[in-house]
Amino acid sequence: MKRKEELEKLLVVVDMVNGFVKEGNMADQKIQSIIPEIKKLIDTLKNEEEGIVFIKDTHKKECREFKRYPEHCVEGTKEAEVVDELKEYEQESYSYQKNSTSTLFAKNFLSDIDAMKSLREIIITGCCTDICVMNLAIPLQNYFDEHDRDVDIVVPTNAVATYDAPWHDAETYQKEALQFMNQAGIQLVKTYKGGK
């Protein structure tokens, strides 16, 4: 991987942790279907020597967010760990823990983005499309606008997913989130091809 200030592209893998993908109150095993696509994206960015980031939802037991969502991804539990299929990649990537639905407030995330002076593209993948993916993509777009940084934000629609629950229809929320991101200027692509 290039040095931080030389990175031109960054792949951000949002919340592909056990607590959303495999076990616990917020998990939907159907989200596993995007793992092969995420692996392809990781391999593409690795081959280009560009940056890879893992975002991990990680909460204290008394987290304020648990007033709105069921308890999930508690610090020190398996739920807060990256899924086994992607874990090997985390060792040579940037990694951030977040205590809210927005990565923007994760410790050191924005300062590292600011240090990436050559950055021109961020690819966002993972889950949940209508919560944590969207709450990264749109505020990050706003942040770049505010600072007049010419960085494209791309979301490959085959590599994002959300959960199904009696109160949360995955298909409806997925569609609406993609529409909101598109309206905010996020580039939606069916599949990310890579290349210069």
From first to last of its 196 residues, the chain has per-residue pLDDT tens of 899 999 999 999 999 999 999 999 999 999 999 999 999 999 999 999 999 999 999 999 999 999 999 999 999 999 999 999 999 999 999 999 999 999 999 999 999 999 999 999 999 999 999 999 999 999 999 999 999 999 999 999 999 999 998 889 999 999 999 999 999 999 999 999 876 5
Q: Which CATH architecture has domain 4-189?
A: 3-Layer(aba) Sandwich (3.40)
Question: Angle, to 10 degrees, between the axis of helix 170-183 and the axis of helix 134-146?
Answer: 10
CB-count exposure of residue 128 (10 Å: 0-12, 13-18, 19+): buried
Residue 18: the pLDDT is 98
Which residues, other chains included, contact 118 with Cβ-Cβ below 8 Å and sequence gap of 6+?
A: 5, 6, 7, 8
* Strand duo 160-161 + 121-127: pairing: parallel
Say how many CA atoms lie within 13 Å of 144 toward its Cβ. Answer: 20
> Would you mind telling me the total number of residues written for the chain in this entry?
196
Residue 193: the pLDDT is 84
Residue 83: the pLDDT is 98
Which residues, other chains included, contact 57 with Cβ-Cβ below 8 Å and sequence gap of 6+?
A: 15, 17, 19, 20, 72, 73, 80, 97, 98, 132
Residue 196: the pLDDT is 56
Residue 194: the pLDDT is 76
Tokens of 26: 């917020």
